[in-house]
Structure 1
Amino acid sequence: MQRPFSQAAENNKGPIAEVLARYLDHGDLLEIGSGTGQHAIWMAPRFPDVRWYPSEQPENMTGLNRWLEAHPSPSLQAATMLRVQGRWPEHRFRHVYTANTFHILSRPLVERCVQHLCEHLTPQARAYIYGPFNYQGHYTGDGNRRFDLHLKSQSLSMGIRDQEWVVALFARHGRVLLADHAMPANNRLLVFH
């Protein structure tokens, strides 16, 4: 089996790393939904003081592990199996990062993800959420509108989430929006503290 490949992950890894460099100092980081692992293998060597813990659903672990095995790094940890609706690791993290997951997860699973994510953060920790978001119910560009319609054609449970709704979910768990970074291709990187 060849390693899976995501062109989107290849395109956005550099801009995401530039923003994360403002925040990542040290400690353990859980990546939720690592996908192919392209972000993990790119980021971990760039942040040597951060122990990067990739995670994925069981059915995606083989592809993820192929990337991790091909690109070892001292700060890159073994991948963890994680289903948002299932059991989470007992470990608490200084950082939690996820890219392009909230529009794939159903709204109830986004709520569960935020709840568990916040429970697994240390008190002074930060969460980083990357992806497309709507603002006040409106798309930020025509590309996002087409993407949202494409998602909903696959499943009505998927779709671009409202930024304000995500901010309110974090606020329920005592986490506030620290920054909202504009990213290429009409994406955002939300930072919660």
Structure 2
Amino acid sequence: MSNINAKRQAPAAARNRAPIGDVLERELPDGGLVLEIASGTGEHALYFAQRFPGLTWQPSDPDPGALASIAAWRSDHPAANLLEPVELDASCEEWPTSRADAMVCINMVHISPWEASEGLFAGAARVLGRGDPLVLYGPYLEADVETVPSNLAFDENLKARDPRWGLRQLADVDRLADANGFDRTARYAMPANNLTLVYRKR
């Protein structure tokens, strides 16, 4: 039995999991290991593991409370293809997973220092093979797209909480991807003014 008190819930996860899943259905391989970075509450990991039974889902997070929440959701709703969560800080050079067939990272890039994004792409370059996808989800700033007021307010709120946080310019993320050997192959407009971005290793 898991400790129900360890469970965390993110209302946004229940709202966005199906639209994200629709994109993943198009972009993920039919089988193999998917490494999820910054799994948070664990609600996404559980949903995707159940939705994609042919894939093995490896959740991860650097926060002990998040790891406990992921484990609690996994214990109460066991899926054979949902692995125990592992501690992983994207900004670190040493990762507990050395090989994956795809990577997914939801709502981390804007709620973390830029070093985490740098580590994310560097790690993806080590872990993924040629043509494998790194899928990012969240709000971004685009030079040729007017930013909605709610995203501007969200950006200000994030920076007030931590000046190292904030919505990233998509052009900066693309440059970071290119420097690590990735090309952006898809951009999906998502509900609530978010984007799903797909980068594939050259």
**TM-score, scaled to structure 1:** 0.95
With 154-163 and 119-128 compared, the bigger mean Cα shift is at 119-128
Residue 89 (structure 1) aligned with residue 57 (structure 2): no
Residue 136 (structure 1) aligned with residue 143 (structure 2): yes
Residue 159 (structure 1) aligned with residue 163 (structure 2): no
**3-state DSSP class of the match of 1:4?**
coil
What is the percentage of aligned positions where both structures have the same residue? Answer: 33
- Residue in structure 2 matched with residue 42 of structure 1 by the alignment: 47
Residue 65 (structure 1) aligned with residue 71 (structure 2): yes
Q: Which runs of 5+ in 2 are unaligned?
A: none
Across the aligned residues of Structure 1 and Structure 2, the Cα RMSD in angstroms comes to 1.4
Give yes or no for contact 1:152–1:158 (8 Å, CA) kept in 2: yes
Residue number among 128, 133, 136 corresponding to 1:126 in the alignment: 133
Distance 1:17 1:90 in 2: 23
Residue 29 (structure 1) aligned with residue 34 (structure 2): yes
Write out per-residue CA displacement over residues 125-179 of structure 1, whole angstroms, 9 at most, x where no aligned residue: 1110000000028652111001001101101000000111111111112110110
Residue 78 (structure 1) aligned with residue 92 (structure 2): no
**3-state DSSP class of the match of 1:171?**
helix
**3-state DSSP class of the match of 1:169?**
helix
Residue 15 (structure 1) aligned with residue 22 (structure 2): no
Distance 1:46 1:32 in 2: 18
**3-state DSSP class of the match of 1:176?**
strand
What amino acid is aligned across from residue 150 of structure 1 in structure 2?
A: N
Q: Which runs of 5+ in 1 are unaligned?
A: none
Give yes or no for contact 1:133–1:139 (8 Å, CA) kept in 2: no
Number of equivalences = 193
Give yes or no for contact 1:107–1:157 (8 Å, CA) kept in 2: yes
Distance 2:74 2:125 in 1: 26
What amino acid is aligned across from residue 186 of structure 2 in structure 1?
A: A
Change over 3 Å in CA distance of 1:130–1:121 after alignment to 2: same
**3-state DSSP class of the match of 1:31?**
strand
Distance 1:2 1:111 in 2: 30
